[in-house]
Amino acid sequence: MAEEEGAHMLLTNCPSCILSLEQGLELMRESGEPMEFGIFNFYKVFSRALGEGSNGAAGT
């Protein structure tokens, strides 16, 4: 759905959502349906913007 709407990234503060979405993307890749899509943790993105390190990508 996100790709159909033109979204290439998702920003969320829900750890369960991040895990679920990452697992879904991995399953899509394994099934041969490659999808370039970034899932970012809200807090890490804004921490980085404020100069506190980390790149904002989930799992980093």
- 11 phi, psi to nearest 5 deg: -115, 125
Q: Is the pLDDT of residue 56 over 60?
A: no
Using DSSP's 3-state secondary structure scheme, residue 15 falls into helix
> What is residue 16's predicted lDDT score, i.e. its pLDDT?
94
In the prediction, which pLDDT does 7 show?
A: 82
**Whether the predicted pLDDT of 60 surpasses 90:** no
Instruction: Answer yes or no: are the C-beta atoms of 39 and 18 closer than 8 Å.
Output: yes
pTM (predicted TM-score): 0.63
Both tokens assigned to 55: 């790149």
Which segments of the chain are extended strands (E)? 9-12, 38-41
pLDDT tens track for 4-55? 788 888 899 999 999 998 998 899 889 998 777 889 999 988 888 898 764 5
**DSSP notation for 2-36:** TTTTT--EEEE--HHHHHHHHHHHHHHHHTT----
